[in-house]
């Protein structure tokens, strides 16, 4: 699985980092999200799916 | 698809007693007919109640303006309050601006409010919360609003702004009363006078910080003014300070009150919140969703357009009803139930799009800290139902004026509140050198 955060859509709600900490990181200056790397390890796939589902802006895309 | 002729018209006013009595169920019959409906109240406006549609609308700040322009310098739009405030002559900081100006302000203030920045204030919030409870713990009686939830966010906001922590008392009553006092109240003139004094005081602080810089958000705005005096003009700086005080004081108070009230009759859930790892995090989002302290925000349509299959006309007013959206059953199963481990939870309680509540991380941190401290120190509290006073008008902020409770008295554990505030003032002053 691959994951991306669209920086133009993310508004810094931070719920992705709550769902999958370590996969989604929050910028120091505004708390907007970015991914540590696009490849998702199998053991966190479920958490990343939850993160995508809870993003209020729909900024997270998954590629299975 | 709605057109001017096909619009679904409802009788609706978020400031009415019917709304307060009917929230949140009042949104369901409206939403069932159409995710955006029209009301002739408040001068006529659209009300958005569907979660899917509001997400589409929030992505179009070019079509839906937050601008408040009471003197007609631009297009004369009415800002985020519906109806626009009577006699209101200034705009409410960057919340009543559009990009790119709005983003200029947020860029200056974001570094104070990111999750990382907010963490630095957690020790102060914890000590303040403990001290507030120490003040009442021997008596067995508390008003969660007056004694805890009004104080902690207020002192914290002073710290972030770079104002003397003690000064929170000057802002506390006006910050809350301007929100809960409707224009028809006999108390309204007194509250308006207080609000004006608050604005004067902030204008004075702004001038003082220009000559005696103190670190904090005001200083950052003053520095930005040096680089771009047109955007960061004095009037919009004072509007921004009023916005930060309103947002910093009143919303977290409302959230904390709702949670403590709901937990009153649920001792098992109180224990779960203290014991289960991670539950406080999901529960916080759920309390925010359910109560939606900031109930919604007004917009003005900038041009004839179609969004999500619905047609709007230039100049139309529209209310982003975050509170009703957060109870859309399409997005939230059992929407009128509080489910502490609900997750995913795509709530819109902090707003959506470029206007997402800039203080959301601060609100979460201070809410969690206050709530945990109450549950630890007053584990058997019971709310005195006969003493509860909800805001007379919940259409702006869904808050409580009073939430009294009794509990088994306990022993003080730390110094009095004024000593804790003074000690933190010394700490902050030392950091400034």
The three-class DSSP label of residue B317 is: strand
Spatial distance between the Cα atoms of B11 and B344, rounded to a whole number of angstroms: 33
pLDDT of residue B85: 80
Among A14, A53, A58, the residue with its CB nearest the CB of B361 is A14
Give the number of A-B residue pairs with CB atoms closer than 8 Å: 67
Tokens read off for B244: 């930060």
- Residue B361 backbone phi and psi in degrees, to 5: -70, -35
pLDDT tens, B291-315?
999 999 999 999 999 999 999 999 9
User: Which class for B168: exposed (0-12), middle (13-18), buried (19 or more C-beta within 10 A)?
Assistant: buried
Bridge partners, residue B406, by sequence: B141, B382
Which residues in chain B are contacts of A17 at CB distance < 8 A? 115
pLDDT tens, B65-77?
999 999 899 999 9
pLDDT tens, B233-263?
999 999 999 999 999 999 999 999 999 999 9
Query: Looking at domain B9-432, does it have CATH number 1.10.630.10?
Result: yes
> Chain A closest CA to B348's CA: distance in Å?
7
> Chain A closest CA to B354's CA: distance in Å?
6
Which residues in chain B are contacts of A31 at CB distance < 8 A? 110, 113-116, 361
Residue ranges, chain A, pLDDT below 50: none
DSSP-derived letter for residue B124 is H
Inter-chain residue contact A57 with B344, CB threshold 8 Å: no
- Number of neighbouring beta carbons within 10 Å of residue B169: 11
Q: Is B333 on the interface with A (CB under 8 A)?
A: no
Q: What is the dihedral of CA B177, B179, B184, B185, to 10 degrees?
A: -20
Chain B residues 343-362 with CB within 8 Å of chain A: 343-348, 350, 352-354, 356, 360-361
> Chain A closest CA to B93's CA: distance in Å?
19
Query: Taking residues B383-391, what's their average pLDDT?
Result: 98
Q: Is B55 on the interface with A (CB under 8 A)?
A: yes
Inter-chain residue contact A28 with B113, CB threshold 8 Å: no
Beta strands in B94-207 (DSSP E): 141-143
pLDDT tens, B142-164?
999 999 999 999 999 999 999 99
Domain map of chain A by residue range?
2-63
pLDDT of residue B23: 97
Which residues in chain B are contacts of A29 at CB distance < 8 A? 110-111, 114
Inter-chain residue contact B116 with A31, CB threshold 8 Å: yes
Q: Is B60 on the interface with A (CB under 8 A)?
A: no
> Chain A closest CA to B94's CA: distance in Å?
16
Domain map of chain B by residue range?
9-432
pLDDT tens, B331-349?
999 999 999 999 999 999 9
Is it the case that residue B219 has pLDDT exceeding 90? yes
Inter-chain residue contact A15 with B345, CB threshold 8 Å: yes
What was the ipTM of the complex prediction?
Answer: 0.98
pLDDT of residue B433: 47
CA of residue B169 relative to chain centroid, distance: 19
Q: Which CATH architecture has domain A2-63?
A: 2-Layer Sandwich (3.30)
Which residues in chain A are contacts of B53 at CB distance < 8 A? none
Tokens read off for B379: 């584990």
Is it the case that residue B270 has pLDDT exceeding 60? yes
Is it the case that residue B184 has pLDDT exceeding 70? yes
Tokens read off for A21: 């900490």
């Amino acid at each position: 699985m691959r994951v991306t955060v669209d920086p133009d859509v993310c508004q810094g709600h931070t719920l992705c980092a709550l769902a999958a900490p370590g996969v989604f990181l929050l910028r120091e200056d505004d708390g907007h999200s970015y991914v540590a790397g696009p490849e998702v390890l199998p053991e966190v796939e479920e958490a990343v799916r939850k993160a995508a589902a809870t993003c209020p802006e729909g900024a997270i895309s998954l590629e299975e | 698809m709605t057109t001017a002729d096909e619009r679904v018209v409802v009788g609706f006013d978020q400031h009415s007693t019917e709304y307060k009595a009917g929230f949140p169920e009042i949104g369901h019959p409206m939403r069932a007919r159409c995710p955006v409906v029209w009301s002739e109240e408040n001068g006529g406006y659209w009300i958005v109640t569907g979660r899917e549609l509001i997400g589409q609308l929030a992505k179009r700040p070019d079509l839906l303006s937050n601008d408040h322009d009471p003197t007609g310098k631009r297009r004369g739009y009415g800002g985020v309050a519906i109806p626009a405030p009577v006699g209101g002559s200034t705009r409410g900081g960057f919340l009543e601006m559009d990009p790119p100006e709005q983003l200029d302000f947020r860029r200056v203030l974001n570094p104070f409010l990111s999750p990382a920045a907010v963490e630095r204030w957690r020790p102060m919030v914890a000590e303040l919360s403990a001290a507030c409870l120490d003040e009442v713990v021997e008596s067995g009686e508390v008003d969660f609003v007056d004694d805890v939830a009004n104080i902690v966010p207020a002192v914290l906001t002073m710290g972030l702004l770079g104002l003397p922590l003690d000064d929170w008392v000057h802002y506390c009553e006006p910050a809350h009363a301007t929100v809960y006092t409707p224009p028809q109240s006999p108390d309204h003139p007194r509250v308006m006078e207080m609000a004006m004094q608050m604005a004067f005081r902030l204008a004075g602080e702004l001038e003082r910080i220009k000559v005696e810089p103190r670190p904090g958000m005001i200083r950052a705005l003053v520095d930005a003014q040096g680089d771009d005096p047109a955007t960061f003009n004095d009037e919009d700086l004072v509007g921004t300070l009023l916005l930060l005080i309103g947002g910093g004081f009143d919303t977290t108070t409302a959230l904390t009150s709702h949670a403590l009230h709901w937990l009153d009759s649920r001792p098992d859930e109180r224990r779960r919140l203290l014991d289960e790892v991670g539950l406080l995090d999901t529960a916080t989002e759920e309390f925010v969703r359910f109560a939606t302290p900031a109930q919604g925000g007004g917009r003005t349509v900038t041009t004839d357009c179609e969004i999500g299959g619905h047609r709007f006309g230039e100049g139309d007013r529209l209310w982003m009803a975050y509170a009703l959206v957060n109870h859309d059953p399409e997005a939230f199963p059992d929407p009128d139930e509080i489910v502490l481990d609900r997750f995913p939870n795509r709530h819109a309680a902090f707003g959506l799009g470029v206007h997402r509540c800039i203080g959301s991380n601060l609100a979460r941190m201070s809410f969690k800290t206050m709530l945990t401290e109450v549950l630890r120190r007053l584990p058997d509290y019971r709310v005195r139902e006969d003493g509860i006073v909800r805001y007379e008008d919940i259409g702006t902020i869904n808050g409580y004026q009073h939430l009294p409770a009794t509990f088994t008295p306990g022993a003080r554990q730390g110094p009095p509140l004024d000593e804790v505030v003074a000690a933190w003032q010394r700490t902050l002053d030392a950091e400034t050198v």
